Amino acid sequence: MLIAQLSDLHICRAGETVFGGRDSAQSLARCVQTVNALRPQPDSVILTGDLVNTGHIDEYSRLKSMLALLDSRYYLMPGNHDERATMRQVFAEHDYLGTQGPMQYSVTCAGWRILALDTVVPGAEGGALDEARMRWLEATLAEQPTLPSIIFMHHPAFPTGIVHMDDGCVHEPRFWALLARQPQVKGVSCGHIHRAIFSQHAGMPVCVAPSTAAHLGLQLDAAEQFGVTDEPVGFLLHHCLGDEVRTHCVWVAAPA
């Protein structure tokens, strides 16, 4: 089973750029071509938030026309740059997004379970997991206690070490205490940081997907300047083998 994870797309309106002049639509188009060229094809593509840059309906319409070129089925999640109501309006046929509140769902695919956990707090850059979301996660995991599962969320729920970004992450001990009782969860994969990170937290494999739009600096010291870098964009490919996951980083070079 293969899941491609594209994150932090930051699609803007035609003629606009993001992150100091980056053409996020052009780089997403190259990522979509790269995903379509994968053999075998991913069983699913999950988009882990910051789908668009400001939440404007024109951005979502543009995104939708670009995602229509994906050969695999795709699933959407919100990030702090997204507007849930506008997402629901433009992607109305995506029933799993629900009609109100956090966009949380589970999908069963090729013997695995994909769980989308919404960490967005409307109007805030940082994320959170409140009581209701934790209850949803616990109940949803309990429905299928033996199916191997991966949890996707926009904000990492652990300190990443990227100084400028860590204030906005979800630091929720209850989340990790719950996962410690759920051996079917094989990993947690996030976005938001605009860098690829692979680690382990509370005994659980965790990772952060690169952005398809632009990368932010490797700021491990607060004294270092923080900003956009010229690193290639990319995405993650989660390869589920038996009940284990191999996660690959696929880099997509800028056009010559």
Q: What does the per-residue mask of binding to Fe ion show for 172-211, with x meaning CB under 5 A?
A: --------------------x-------------------
Tracing tokens 């937290």 back to the chain, one arrives at: 201
Q: Which stretch binds Fe ion (CB under 5 A): 45-53, 60-68, 108-116, 243-251?
A: 45-53
Q: First vs last Cα of the chain: how many Å apart?
A: 33
Size of the residue set binding Fe ion (CB under 5 A)? 5
Contact status, residue 150 vs residue 188, Cβ threshold 8 Å: yes
**Does residue 148 interact with Fe ion by CB under 5 A?**
no
Helices (H), the chain: 24-37, 57-67, 84-90, 131-143, 163-166, 173-180
**Does residue 118 interact with Fe ion by CB under 5 A?**
no
Chain center to CA of 191: 5
Q: Which stretch binds Fe ion (CB under 5 A): 34-42, 47-55, 127-135, 159-167?
A: 47-55
Q: Which stretch binds Fe ion (CB under 5 A): 5-13, 35-43, 65-73, 92-100?
A: 5-13
Contact status, residue 111 vs residue 121, Cβ threshold 8 Å: no
**Does residue 156 interact with Fe ion by CB under 5 A?**
no
Contact status, residue 115 vs residue 10, Cβ threshold 8 Å: no
Give least dist CB 169 to Fe ion, A.
Answer: 10
Give least dist CB 8 to Fe ion, A.
Answer: 4
**Does residue 80 interact with Fe ion by CB under 5 A?**
yes
Do strands 204-208 and 197-201 pair parallel, antiparallel, or not at all (unpaired)? antiparallel
Name the residues that contact Fe ion, by CB under 5 A. 8, 50, 79-80, 192
